[in-house]
Chain A
């Protein structure tokens, strides 16, 4: 915040900059600011630690920059022409299962991710699929040993591009409107019906397999092994999807998706509409089961 305040002051390019640490220097500020500048030159007053905005300086070209003290969440004044908000950084260390998992994944691939684990976590928005693919990219490019932040930064995907994963997430959350909107947005730039169908087919197959394993009383470890995912990923992402769709519904979905895929690949344009219908159906059912549970 201090750096931002000084940058604001420097942006004026001319005039003197006066800094005061409140509350000790409040009186000195009041004395100085009440005096008009001799030749009308602009002045910038920087006040650090102010719990409220004091009287403005008297010069008409003066600028007052007020920096709130640590712990003060709001500092408002209707006279302010610009307000900068600095959100509090979350503590990543406490009760964060993701960082240890990222480090373990790195160990598995013989790379040390200790310097980039937090960056991966922040960038991934808790999407383990995305983290996993970023870690694989980093492992492919770097040799064994510690991974430098510069290397990680160069390969991490910072784009907000939509993928069928986003549509699938919306379906699993039971948010039909969101799923359909995301579907339209993905399809806006290019025909991605095949890509989305492939994702959904694999998801439904995974769901069927998981339901079957749970019926047999298989442990999380065994289920994760059969599905080909890390047990942590299974616990955090797959297990919470159980019960969203009935076995019959999943079978019906799988058959429908396979038919749509064949229709799409033979040039039948109605496959796109069929895909939307199937997405709505799955999402509505997930929504009902989410509400029931």
Chain B
């Protein structure tokens, strides 16, 4: 269920229902606010399961997409392809999608989902016919889309408008992670002999929600000390940790954690 961003959802629907359909549409906004979930559901309802294809990001995905859009729709009048996290692709993969967009037939639509379109190649960015922006939700909106039962107030607070992270953040290791980061920044925790938090210790390698959640929580905790001069150095160290964790999915979270704590 997707809530919030009412105007953005209406805008996406308006764009995708247009006749003739747009060739290339982009949804831009923070991760975990429901962009992909919403547009997947909408495209399935517009095109049908057989004429909608979410492709994996990468050059292989571009090849699949080209092959898919070059054939006629089976049930409906058009075909649609969804590409998630297009801004995280390297230049060769983005070139492949540029070719896809340029050679896309009029009856097909390519939908890109990204958190920052500024990372796209200028040539690809210029081919976007419509860009719809999405925003983080309010705490009330996050609480309302948490399903049955009372929402966990700590998890809602930690989500900071990203409902996609609620399930992960509702578990206790993440609530204590925020406190541990704060203790390290204030110098109340031992950087060498202190235990590595549970949420960091069991973090799998590779892109995953848990990794994004740890990065998000560490960033939140560090930002709360950003204006505190004596503690700014350690706060920056943890901000760098959060950024590295998200930027390099294969990096060892525990070893980087120690670096953040030691702040060399």
Residues of A within 8 A of B (CB): 198, 201-202, 205, 208-209, 212-213, 226, 251-252, 254-255, 258, 261-262, 265-266
Contact = CB atoms under 8 A, between A and B. Distances in A.
Given A201-B255, A255-B264, A258-B256, A209 B250 contact: no
B264 A252 contact: yes
21 contacts: A198-B255, A205-B255, A205-B258, A208-B262, A209-B192, A209-B193, A251-B262, A254-B258, A254-B262, A255-B262, A255-B264, A258-B255, A258-B259, A261-B251, A262-B244, A262-B247, A265-B248, A265-B250, A265-B251, A266-B247, A266-B248
B184 to A, nearest CB: 16
Contacts of A255: 259, 262, 264
Contacts of B262: 208, 251, 254-255
Given A205-B258, A251-B264, A254-B259, A262 B193 contact: no
A208 B264 CA distance: 12
A262 B248 contact: yes
Contacts of B259: 254-255, 258
Contacts of B255: 198, 201-202, 205, 258, 261
Contact of B251 (A208, A251, A252, A262): A262
B214 to A, nearest CB: 16
B194 to A, nearest CB: 11
A212 B193 contact: yes
B252 interface: yes
Nearest to A212: B192
Interface of B: 192-193, 244, 247-248, 250-252, 255-256, 258-259, 262, 264
Given A198-B255, A205-B258, A258-B255, 9 more contacts: A201-B252, A202-B255, A205-B255, A209-B192, A251-B264, A252-B264, A255-B259, A265-B250, A265-B251
A252 B247 CA distance: 23
A251 B192 CA distance: 11
Contacts of B244: 262
A206 to B, nearest CB: 10
A243 to B, nearest CB: 18
Contacts of A202: 255
B193 A261 contact: no
A148 B262 CA distance: 48
Given A226-B193, A251-B264, A255-B264, A261 B258 contact: no
B260 to A, nearest CB: 9
A119 B247 CA distance: 48
Nearest to A266: B248
A105 to B, nearest CB: 26
A181 to B, nearest CB: 27
A209 B256 CA distance: 16
Nearest to A261: B251
Contacts of A201: 252, 255
Nearest to A252: B264
A27 B164 CA distance: 99
Nearest to A198: B252
Contacts of B251: 261-262, 265
A251 B256 CA distance: 13
Considering the complex of A and B, which 7 residue pairs feature the smallest CB-CB distances, nearest first?
Answer: A255-B264, A251-B264, A258-B259, A265-B250, A265-B248, A212-B192, A201-B255
A208 B244 CA distance: 23
A244 to B, nearest CB: 18
Nearest to B250: A265
A261 B252 contact: yes
A196 B256 CA distance: 16
A194 B252 CA distance: 11
Nearest to B260: A258
